[in-house]
Amino acid sequence: MPGIPPGSIEFATDSTRTIAHVVFSGTAAKFPDIRWIFSHSGGTLPFLTGRFIRLAQERKVADPMPAFRRFYYELAQGNTAGQIAALLKMVPLSQVLYGTDYPFATAPRSTPASQPMDSAPTTFVRSNVRSRSSLFRD
Domain ranges of the chain: 6-137
Q: Enumerate residues 6+ apart whose C-beta is below 8 A from 40.
A: 11, 12, 15, 74, 76, 77, 78
138 or 97: whose pLDDT is higher?
97
Phi, psi of 130 (to 5 degrees): -90, 155
pTM comes to: 0.77
The pairing of strands 96-97 and 37-38 is: unpaired
Return the pLDDT at 120: 44
Mind listing the pLDDT tens digit for each residue in 14-44? 999 999 999 999 999 999 999 999 999 999 9
Q: Residue 118: how many CB atoms within 10 A of its CB?
A: 10
Query: Homologous superfamily of 6-137 in CATH?
Result: Metal-dependent hydrolases (3.20.20.140)
Integer CA distances (angstroms), 101 to 14, 23, 50, 62, in order: 16, 25, 29, 34
Mind listing the pLDDT tens digit for each residue in 54-113? 999 999 999 999 999 999 999 988 888 889 999 999 999 999 998 887 777 665 554 444
